[in-house]
Amino acid sequence: MEDNNTKTAISFRHVTKTYKLYKDDKQRFRAIFFKNVKCKQRKAINDVSFDVMPREAVALFGRNGAGKSTLLKMITQVTYPSSGEVEVNGRVSALLELTAGFDPEFTGRENIYFRGNLLGLKEEDVRELEPQIIEFAELGDYMDQPVRTYSSGMKARLGFAINVSIHPEILIVDEALSVGDKSFRKKCKEKIRELVEDENVTFLFVTHSTAVAEEFCTRGLVMKKGKLIFDGGISEAAAFYDEMIEREDAEKAERRRKKRERRLAEKRALEKKETL
Ligand SMILES: Nc1ncnc2c1ncn2[C@@H]1O[C@H](COP(=O)(O)OP(=O)(O)OP(=O)(O)O)[C@@H](O)[C@H]1O
């Protein structure tokens, strides 16, 4: 039998995820019935392997489109690899799409039970957690109103309160997510810190801010165009990512400058030709 101390929380083995890009909806529809419909392929994740051990706090860096969300979606089993293996051991709580998965006709309180059930908790466990979820969400009388009457910020608060209160074993947070107003965001940050520091939580944090990642994490992964290009200590990963962004931005600015110069030279040449 496998020793629990050496069992990984998350393990990716040569994982590739390929998306098919069809020319239009017609082609996409045809592909349901016919195998040989032509399409382009995009590797959102390209042969990625890594292990995260229980209680590790890992930051995931990468520019837009690098493959971070696709990687997280495979951990939460929203999507599956085209090849390779993903193994996840433990109850996952993902602070990603907080407003999804509520029944709009149920009240906030009823939705606590609804989501608790979806997350595999027993009714008595949810009953025990209910007061702290209600206290955290700060929804007042709205807790007994149907969720369809909530603003999106209120739904996100309820989602956050439920997901951090269920004693997750693997906590996944996308920093891009901003919940509620400034003071509520501060409270969320403190709650995440409390979970990461005091409980037996494995933490995976997606962020563009290396400074925030260094506050919470001990290890960093850097993704680029679907590939894992760096895996190491958080300070090294943060420095690697910041340098990469700086270099790429400088290269982009240089390309833009050259293009502008070329256009200007062409314009001048044309003007000169016209005056001759
Ligand atoms: N359902 C899909 N169909 C086709 N292509 C997709 C799909 N989902 C993602 N992609 C493509 O896969 C690549 C990786 O996308 P992904 O959303 O994982 O990136 P990301 O790192 O999370 O970006 P961001 O920081 O912008 O959220 C992108 O090129 C994206 O266009």
Can you state the angle between helices 182-198 and 152-165, rounded to 10 degrees?
A: 10
The rounded percent of the chain whose pLDDT value lies above 90 is 52
Which two three-digit tokens encode residue 2?
A: 């496998």
Look up residue 156 and give its two tokens.
Answer: 């996100």
Does the pLDDT at position 2 exceed 50? no
Q: Is 64 in the pocket of ligand 1 (CB under 6 A)?
A: yes
CA 169 to chain centre: 17
pTM of the model as a whole = 0.82
**Mean pLDDT, to the nearest integer, of 226-231?**
97
Name the DSSP letter for residue 139: -
4 pLDDT higher than 60: no
Nearest CA to 73 out of 12, 30, 27 is that of: 12
Of 172, 250, 132, 148, which is closest to residue 9 (Cα–Cα)?
172
Question: Taking 90 as the threshold, does the pLDDT of residue 255 lie above it?
Answer: yes
Lowest mean pLDDT among 34-43, 240-249, 251-260: 34-43
Q: What is the average per-residue pLDDT within 17-45? A: 86
Query: Residues in the chain, how many?
Result: 276
DSSP run (H or E) holding 92: strand 92-95
Residue 6, φ and ψ in degrees, nearest 5: -105, 0
- Of 91 and 146, the structure prediction assigns the larger pLDDT to 146
Domains of the chain, by residue range, sit at 10-234
CA pair distance 18, 77, nearest whole angstrom = 16
The tokens for 158 are 């309820």
Q: Is 79 in the pocket of ligand 1 (CB under 6 A)?
A: no
Predicted pLDDT at 1: 42
Round the average pLDDT of the chain to a whole number and report it.
88
Is the predicted pLDDT of residue 218 greater than 70, yes or no?
yes
| Angstrom distance (rounded) from CA 17 to CA 69 | 12
Is the pLDDT at 58 greater than 90, yes or no?
Answer: yes
Phi (first) and psi of residue 8, to 5 degrees:
-75, 155
Residue type at 123? E
Q: What is the ipTM of this complex?
A: 0.95
Q: How far is the CA of 70 from the centre of ligand 1 (A)?
A: 6
If you measure from the C-alpha of residue 64 to the centroid of ligand 1, how many angstroms do you get, rounded to a whole number?
8
State if residue 42 touches ligand 1 by the CB under 6 angstroms criterion. yes
Residues above pLDDT 70, as percent of the chain: 94
181 CA from centroid of ligand 1 (Å): 28
Q: Is the pLDDT of residue 250 over 80?
A: yes
For 10-234, give the CATH class: alpha beta
Cβ–ligand 1 contact at 206 (below 6 Å):
no
> Tens of pLDDT along 135-169?
999 999 999 999 999 988 888 889 888 888 888 88
Ligand 1 mutation target, pool 68, 78, 172, most atoms within 8 A of CB: 68
What is residue 67's three-state secondary structure? coil
What integer pLDDT is reported at residue 193 of this predicted model?
Answer: 82
